[in-house]
């Protein structure tokens, strides 16, 4: 497991040396030996923040050291640590520290108190089923959002207003991560049904067609991040499998409306394999 975490430490070391430079997806893939989709999620679930959030933190923390120990003006500091302009620097600085760069220079408060980032692995090793799934036509509506955002719930509420047959309809979420190094995991999320709406003609596309690792998440969807943590901070290191760049798919096998019955809910997480 220690050897497997080396890919995370390589990313950390690279970002610490190059925090003030644009970092490309290819660089991250070459350093980690994982695809961008997987290294972004491995980093998030092992370190508690995305690669983009880590880089942003390095920028503002290094900027603060310059504010404390140099007489450089704030605009010069902003440019030197990798911000495009003083406005974007001030916004990021205030979001992180709670005060403006100007106020930080005047007050000389001790703001740097976070521990160094240390990757961790899950104590639980999941055992997925390896399944082969035929291509399936689905009907869908989409949004671009942060994964696990309440906007996804709103999308499903609107999607279900289209009305679908009560029996024989399967529902899926298709999660296509955006290849951007950001402070949140951005994705295009598709709410999908296996049957066309009774009320409105929805666009269609084909999903599946290939080999997947199928994980089971039992219980409320609110806790699905816990299952993703077990996948990306443990199982993926031990699997010895290769992953494709196609989207992750969630199949909502059993859904309950009553909040008291949330533990009966069942979701399959399907990771595409080569």
Structure confidence by residue, pLDDT tens digits, 189-219:
999 999 999 888 999 999 999 999 999 999 9
Residues 6+ apart with CB under 8 A from 157: none
Strand order across the beta sheet in which 266-273 lies = 129-133, 210-218, 266-273, 248-254, 171-177, 186-193, 136-146, 204-207
- Please choose, from the candidates 273, 236, 14, 30, the residue with its C-alpha nearest in 3D space to the C-alpha of residue 122: 236
Residues 6+ apart with CB under 8 A from 10: 31, 32
Instruction: Kindly report the number of other CB atoms within 10 A of residue 99's CB atom.
Output: 15
pLDDT of residue 131: 97
- Please choose, from the candidates 126, 129, 137, the residue with its C-alpha nearest in 3D space to the C-alpha of residue 172: 137
Q: Please, are residues 76 and 83 in contact by the beta-carbon 8 Å criterion?
A: no
* CA atoms of 95 and 177, how far apart (whole Å): 25
Q: How distant, in Å, are the alpha carbons of 64, 205, 241, 251 from that of 197?
A: 55, 14, 37, 18
Q: 129-273 domain in CATH 3.20.80.10?
A: yes
* CA atoms of 11 and 28, how far apart (whole Å): 7
* CA atoms of 205 and 84, how far apart (whole Å): 39
| Tokens linked to 118 | 């240390």
Q: CATH 1.10.10.60 region(s) of the chain?
A: 6-107
Collect the ranges in the chain with pLDDT lower than 70: 1-3, 109-115, 258-260
Residues 6+ apart with CB under 8 A from 127: none
Q: How distant, in Å, are the alpha carbons of 1, 174, 209 from that of 41?
A: 17, 16, 23
CATH of 6-107, one of 3.40.50.300, 3.90.1150.10, 1.10.10.60, 3.40.50.720: 1.10.10.60
Q: CATH 3.20.80.10 region(s) of the chain?
A: 129-273
* CA atoms of 6 and 163, how far apart (whole Å): 49
């Amino acid at each position: 497991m220690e050897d497997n975490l080396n890919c995370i430490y390589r990313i950390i070391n690279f970002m610490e040396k190059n925090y003030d430079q644009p970092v490309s997806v290819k660089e991250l893939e070459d350093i980690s030996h994982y695809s961008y989709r997987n290294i972004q999620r491995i980093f998030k679930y092992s370190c508690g923040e995305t690669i983009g959030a880590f880089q942003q933190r390095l920028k503002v923390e290094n900027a603060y050291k310059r504010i404390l120990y140099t007489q450089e003006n704030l605009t010069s500091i902003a440019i030197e640590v990798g911000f495009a302009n003083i406005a974007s620097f001030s916004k990021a600085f205030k979001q992180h520290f709670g005060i403006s760069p100007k106020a930080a220079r005047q007050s000389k408060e001790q703001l740097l108190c976070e521990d160094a980032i240390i990757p961790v692995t899950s104590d639980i090793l999941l055992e997925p089923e390896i399944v082969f799934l035929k291509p399936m036509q689905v009907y869908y509506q989409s949004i671009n959002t942060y994964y696990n955002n309440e906007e996804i719930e709103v999308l499903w509420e609107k999607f279900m207003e289209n009305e679908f047959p009560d029996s024989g309809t399967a529902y899926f979420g298709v999660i296509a991560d955006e290849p951007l190094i950001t402070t949140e995991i951005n994705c295009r999320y598709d709410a999908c049904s296996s049957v066309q709406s009774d009320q409105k003609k929805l666009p269609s596309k084909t999903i599946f067609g290939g080999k997947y690792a199928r994980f089971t998440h039992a219980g409320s969807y609110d806790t699905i991040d816990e299952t993703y943590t077990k996948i990306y901070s443990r199982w993926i290191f031990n699997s010895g499998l290769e992953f494709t760049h196609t989207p992750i798919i969630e199949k909502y096998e059993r859904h309950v409306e009553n909040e008291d019955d949330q533990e009966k809910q069942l979701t399959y997480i399907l990771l595409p394999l080569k």
